[in-house]
Structure 1
Amino acid sequence: MSDEAVHETQPTSMDPYKYLQIVANPDGSITRNENFFPRTPATPDDPSHQHIPVLSKDVFINQSNNLWARIFVPRDNGGDHNKLPLIVYYHGGGFILCSADMNVFHDLCSNMVVQLQAVVVSVGYRLAPEHRLPAAYDDAMEALHWIKTNTQEVWLQKYVDFSNCFLMGTSAGGNIAYNAGLRAAADVDHLTPLKIKGLILHHPFFGGVKRTGSELRLVNDPVLPTCVTDLMWDFSLPLGVDDDRDHEYCNPTVKSGSKVLEQIKSLGWKMMVIGCDGDPLIDRQIELAKIMEQKGVQVVGHFDAGGFHGEELMDPSKAKAMFDLLKNFVFSC
């Protein structure tokens, strides 16, 4: 029997509900452990934050659906005339967990501002299963339209070069950045003056019916076991297709012939895909990068040996190396 067959026939004994610290409710919602990650308050410009190099504040984009964002800016960017690149960031959590104010994402965005000298808008999108896909994609696009039309938000007007925008996400956020990118490419005329230059997919979260080699090899991965990703897709895909891992939201290869991919090429957008071979999703990430390259999109793939899913959120040395990659990518576009 092959190694792949052995792995495929070895079910995990892990309980994904316990792993994710969630409880399913009869009404289709879930109860989450709100302390899954510690939360960090925003750091607005006041005397108590004089020593902090990055300022942040929370703003409502749409109060009716509780869509909000945390904006991060450098305390000193060398003068008001010095406009900075904009990174619109979508956090991870398998579409069902986490928030933009959790410390791992707050710290990542703060450090990104310092290392890249950029402005970051981290979007607090709606979570599944209460709001199944495409709700997160809808929120991602609403955030972009809010950014481009909001003339009252002083930090955006003061700091942002609207012609130099990037969509970035971690894990499920990488999936959101990709799908929001497809929508934005098809609706580019309505985003002016916001001009997207590229997509940055950090350990993006994709799936499919047929298990890949990395998924079989790492079926019982301690960070992202297959039973956990399966549950996340069950909760996030639209009702009626929630058992279809080849739905376009989950498996981007099903729309690999899309004219929107040609549009991304014609717009001159670049794409960066960051991953590592200790992540069960690595094969899917590499496959997406190859598809985009075949479509003529300029792709920068960076895939490390070892590691684990989302490692840059936990390992400062890995994060610093990633920031160096991002800086080169952003300033080459």
Structure 2
Amino acid sequence: MPAVSAAACCAAATPASEVVEDLFGFLRVLSDGTILRSPAEPVFCPTTFPTSHPSVQWKEAVYDKAKNLRVRMYKPAVAAAAAGGGSGDASRNKLPVLVHFHGGGFCLGSCTWGNVHAFCLRLAADAGAVVLSAGYRLAPEHRLPAALDDGASFMRWLRDQSANAAEADAWLTEAADFRRVFVTGDSAGGTIAHHLAVRAGSAAAAEPGETTAAADPVTVLGYVLMMPFFGGVRRTSSEAECPAEAFPNLDVVDRFWRLSLPAGATRDHPAANPFGPDSPDLAAAELRPVLVVAGGLDLLRDRTVDYAEQLAAMGKPVELAEFAGKVHGFYLHEPGSEATGELIQAVARFVDGCVAATEAAAAA
């Protein structure tokens, strides 16, 4: 991602001596605790990014009115046409659901940003899936675990959509197969996906045998972590060797953690480090299949690969897809590229594989 200029910063001019944290001018924290946010989209969301797709319909909804949290919903037009046909088994025309959480170090980002929107348009079209791009509360106004709790809240909203036909959004339910749900996330969104997987897996492990899962209107078959935003006190080689001109660089990552973690917490906090001293025991969790995406030029590359390798060593169902020569979040600032297409095809293969395995297990 290109370096971000602070020129289009918060409208309120503030003396430099009062600014204690500054994230590209889009987020400023003053010495008196005041937080200033710019209403502008970042320069890496150019107007040339597509706002529509010939084969994808999209709309917005509010999934949490009290917190004003929104979701952008995308569905391939073929699903809408099939749903409106009025003949045959409607369930056969429904598509898998990809719940997607955006990145931004838990401090920046939105499901409405142009780069996130453009990526989700292509994800829905090329993966042949309903994509639900969910927002969540940002730090430092809402420090972790607020974003993780909002991820869980969105999954409850999704269950309500599936179970309560009278109050559900027909635009969504006519196309979405709630028995084929996958949770995906980019960067900090990938961290949210990890924590949702652990919460679900820990609950499953705590209730061996017959559980309430059979009555759950939503079935999550897998998780996709795209360059997840993990941290730790100990520096990895890819972090220590990251050039200062890269984005994100180590200084930026450290600022994200300072602003998003609970006050006084270190980067070994469970929200940041999945293998920290106080983190849940992943070996004890019954994790669904996980696809982990790494970038060869990402300063988080070593943490991402180590995460996948440690899960594999525990016997967890995990796949690693590494994109050599690619920087952090390349699919967001080049959503139309060949590499982004390869990433989406990897996601589609993962989805198809999980669905086929589930169907085979049910038929056995």
Q: TM-score range by the shorter chain?
A: 0.7 to 0.9
Q: Alpha carbons of 1:127 and 1:258: their partners in 2 closer, same or farther (altered >3 Å)?
A: closer
What does 1:230-249 correspond to in 2, within 5 Å? Answer: 230-241=254-265, 244-249=266-271
**Partner residue of 1:309?**
328
Residue 19 in structure 1 maps to residue 24 in structure 2 = yes
Q: TM-score, normalised by structure 2?
A: 0.78
Residue 147 in structure 1 maps to residue 163 in structure 2 = no
AA of the residue aligned to 2:67 = N
Q: Percent identity?
A: 33
Gaps of 5+ in 1: 1-14
User: After superposition, what is the alpha-carbon deviation per residue over 1:38-83, rounded to whole angstroms, capped at 9, x for unaligned?
Assistant: 499xx99xxxx8x732111111111111122111111222612211
**Partner residue of 2:272?**
250
**Partner residue of 1:60?**
62
AA of the residue aligned to 1:128 = A
Shift of 1:185: 2.7
User: After superposition, what is the alpha-carbon deviation per residue over 1:249-297, rounded to whole angstroms, capped at 9, x for unaligned?
Assistant: 11111269845553334xxx21111111200000000111012112211
Which of 185, 196, 204 is the aligned partner of 2:228? 204
Kept in 2: contact 1:73–1:155 (CA 8 A): no
Q: Distance between the aligned counterparts of 1:133 and 1:238, measured in 2?
A: 6
**Partner residue of 1:162?**
178
Shift of 1:112: 0.8
Q: Distance between the aligned counterparts of 2:32 and 2:224, measured in 1?
A: 36
Q: Which has the larger radius of gyration?
A: 2
Which of 341, 348, 352 is the aligned partner of 1:327? 348
Q: Distance between the aligned counterparts of 1:27 and 1:179, measured in 2?
A: 33
Q: Distance between the aligned counterparts of 2:109 and 2:27, measured in 1?
A: 12
Q: TM-score, normalised by structure 1?
A: 0.85
AA of the residue aligned to 1:25 = L
Residue 89 in structure 1 maps to residue 100 in structure 2 = yes
User: After superposition, what is the alpha-carbon deviation per residue over 1:305-328, rounded to whole angstroms, capped at 9, x for unaligned?
Assistant: 222111111222211110111111
Q: CA RMSD in A?
A: 2.5
AA of the residue aligned to 2:82 = G
Q: Distance between the aligned counterparts of 1:256 and 1:296, measured in 2?
A: 21
Q: Distance between the aligned counterparts of 1:229 and 1:103, measured in 2?
A: 22
Q: Distance between the aligned counterparts of 1:257 and 1:23, measured in 2?
A: 30
Q: Distance between the aligned counterparts of 2:22 and 2:263, measured in 1?
A: 20
| Number of residue equivalences | 307
Q: Distance between the aligned counterparts of 1:277 and 1:59, measured in 2?
A: 36
Gaps of 5+ in 2: 1-19, 84-89, 205-211, 355-364
